[in-house]
Structure 1
């Protein structure tokens, strides 16, 4: 499937309408993601913030990442469904959880990150690009005729 994407929380109180393709998609094994994903990784699509329209009330929580950035996760306060995460270092991006997207979205992780934090039983696809921790941040794109590389995610 391609944009637009839609989504909702488990109870339907929060809905998403996304008007663009993700900049990248990731599977994250960091310890914080394992905590919010019941011990497994999170699966995320990183979009330009302005492409993500959200209706409904969200609650949020946060923590300081190993990078020193503050990571804030947003969820439905009624059912607890994770909707998206956002880094203080990249407020122009929203990291939308695959589980908040409607079925049939067709996205899959392109990159696996924080593999050093994965438990010994984790199954990490060797065909995917992987990083032991956070990949290095890309510099912000400058206006030019050449295509740009998307910045790092969370």
Structure 2
């Protein structure tokens, strides 16, 4: 087992740990992520849900993403920090906002998605793979 990957909200009321490394990290320019990231792309780190330890109970907001997927986004009810996203069609995965990780250096994006939604001033790394919309799903977890 690798060292746990830990994180928390700004005020510390919600803390979490995964007992494994992330599967992937991506920068996302969809409009929902822009709202969650104050207008910029959101850097999202994808983990298997199994192996998650969660302390504190974040609030949830459910909506339908641009991809058509039903999403459940969770955040701290005390400080408002966006923490997680969960897609209804991928119940074995948990998406964590990179800014909530204790070591955000683990969240180096391997690609950028929803580039067609980026504003003209948006920075999309030229050396990373990109998708104009939703990326293909990750394979199911064993």
Same fold, judged at TM 0.5 (above)? yes
Structure 2 CA distance, aligned partners of 1:138 and 1:107?
Answer: 17
State the SS of the aligned residue for 1:130: coil
> Does structure 1 conserve the Cα–Cα contact (< 8 Å) formed by 2:92 and 2:140?
no
Equivalent position of 2:60 in the other structure: 60
Structure 2 gap segments, 5+ residues each: none
- Structure 1 residues 14 and 69, CA gap change in structure 2 (3 angstroms): same
Corresponding position: 1:32 with 2:15: no
> Does structure 1 conserve the Cα–Cα contact (< 8 Å) formed by 2:75 and 2:82?
yes
State the SS of the aligned residue for 2:119: coil
Q: Flag as ranges the 4+ runs of structure 1 deviating above 4 A.
A: none
How many residues align? The count is 141
Larger Rg: 1
> Does structure 2 conserve the Cα–Cα contact (< 8 Å) formed by 1:112 and 1:129?
yes
Query: How does the TM-score come out when normalised to structure 2?
Result: 0.92
- Structure 1 residues 23 and 106, CA gap change in structure 2 (3 angstroms): closer
State the SS of the aligned residue for 2:96: strand
State the SS of the aligned residue for 2:27: strand
Corresponding position: 1:17 with 2:35: no
Equivalent position of 1:114 in the other structure: 114
> Does structure 2 conserve the Cα–Cα contact (< 8 Å) formed by 1:5 and 1:105?
no
Structure 1 CA distance, aligned partners of 2:108 and 2:9?
Answer: 19
Structure 2 CA distance, aligned partners of 1:104 and 1:133?
Answer: 25
Give how far 1:138 is off: 4.8
- Structure 1 residues 42 and 127, CA gap change in structure 2 (3 angstroms): same
Structure 2 CA distance, aligned partners of 1:41 and 1:57?
Answer: 26
Give how far 1:111 is off: 1.1
